[in-house]
Amino acid sequence: MSDTFANAGSLDPEAGFTTGPSVGQAANDLRAAAGEKAKDFAHQASELAHQASDQAKAVKDKAVETVQHFREVASEKAHAFKAAATEKAETLKTVASDKAREFRSAADDQWRETRVKAKEFHITTEDYIRQHPTRCVLGALGVGFLIGLIARR
C-alpha cells in the first residue's frame, strides 16, 4: 500500500487510476508559482518605489525651482522698489532744495526792503527833528512823563 501512495501519479492500469500529478507535486508547483508571483510582485513593488522616488525627486526639484524663481522675482521687485524709492527721494530732495532757495530769496528780498524802509524812516525822522527841535524835545518829555507814571503804578 505504501507503494500505491508513493506512486500516486503513475500509471497503474490494474488499479484503475489515471495518470495525474501527485498532491506533493501540485503543492510544489503551487509553491513555485507563488514564489514567482511573489518575485514579480516584489519586482513591481520595487519599480513602483523607484517611480515614486523619481516622482518625489521631480516634485522636490520643481519646488526648489519654484522657490528659486520666487526669490528672483522678489529680488527684482525689491530692486525695482529701491530704484523707485531712490528716484522719488531724489525728486523730493530737488523740489525741497528749490523751495528752500525760493524761501531764502524771498526772505532776502524782504530783509532788503525792510532795511531800505528803516533807513528811509531814520532819514525822515532826523529831518523832522532838525526842522522842529522844540516840538520833539517837548514830545520826548511828555512821553517820558507818561512812562514814569505808568512805571510807578
Q: pLDDT of the chain along its 153 residues, tens only?
A: 444 444 444 444 454 455 566 888 888 888 888 888 888 888 899 999 999 999 999 999 999 999 999 999 999 999 999 999 999 999 999 999 999 999 999 999 999 999 999 999 999 999 999 999 999 999 999 999 999 999 998
Query: Which three cell numbers, joined as nine digits, stand for 19?
Result: 495518470
Query: For 23, phi and psi rounded to 5 degrees?
Result: -65, -40
pTM for the whole thing?
0.42
* End-to-end CA separation in angstroms for the chain: 157
Nearest CA-CA partner of 49 in 24, 131, 57: 57
- Which single residue is written with the C-alpha cell 532776502? 108
Query: Which three cell numbers, joined as nine digits, stand for 71?
Result: 526669490
